[in-house]
Amino acid sequence: MAIRPILHFPDPRLRTLCKPVEQVDDDLRALIDDMFDTMYDAPGIGLAAPQVGDFRRVIVVDISEEGNAPLALINPEIIGSEGAEISEEGCLSVPGAYEKVERAEQIRVKALDKHGEPFELEAHGLEAVCIQHEIDHLNGKLFVDYLSGLKRERIRKKLEKQKRQNM
Ligand code: ZN
């Protein structure tokens, strides 16, 4: 288990279309363990594999206050959605930026668990927002893409400035 470095916007690797997992094996489970370590350490409530530079379709989520409800989804797919909700989002790959984004309020998702077993999940509210946000990452999409070009540009400049100062 290990904490992996998180890629930051506008790193072009965050734009990768991730590949479906073909085999759920120990190697994949090691990635999932590292993703949980990285997410809890940050701390965050969700993380997608491309954020740690692995381009397989895997996300981890835990919206509990105590951080004791880990949920890993492999090859997640939204198979139903309902309603709309605007909420403030942030992203471990876009540190310091919090903006309002509209998403479905309720979703139905199918995925594989860490043993390779298929399951379905109904999520609403924060959990639904989080899962939609993380699945976007697997398609190379970031929450800043929902903002105006001006806002996105402002966030990009701020992060690039911070990066230069940290070098
Ligand atoms: Zn994110």
Per-residue pLDDT reduced to its tens digit, 39-67: 999 999 999 999 999 999 999 999 999 99
Q: In the annotation, is 89 catalytic?
A: no
CA of 86 to the centre of ligand 1 (A): 16
Predicted confidence (pLDDT) per residue in 6-31, tens digit: 999 999 999 999 999 999 999 999 99
**Predicted model pTM:** 0.96
CA of 117 to the centre of ligand 1 (A): 25
Q: Which long-range contacts (CB under 8 A, 24 or more apart) does 149-157 make?
A: 151/99, 155/9, 155/94, 155/97, 156/9, 156/10
CA dist., res. 73 & res. 58, Å (int) = 6
Contact 107, 128 (CB under 8 A): yes
Average pLDDT, the chain: 97
CA of 42 to the centre of ligand 1 (A): 12
CA of 141 to the centre of ligand 1 (A): 9
Which of these is catalytic: 127, 134, 153, 160? 134
Contact 8, 95 (CB under 8 A): yes
Overall average pLDDT of the 144-155 stretch: 96
CA dist., res. 141 & res. 43, Å (int) = 21
pLDDT given at position 148? 96
CA of 66 to the centre of ligand 1 (A): 20
Ramachandran region of residue 27, left (φ > 0), alpha (ψ -120 to 50) or beta?
Answer: alpha
Query: How would residue 166 be classed by pLDDT, with cut points 50, 70 and 90?
Result: confident
Position 1 pLDDT exceeds 80:
no
pLDDT given at position 163? 87
Position 86 pLDDT exceeds 90:
yes
Contact 119, 77 (CB under 8 A): no
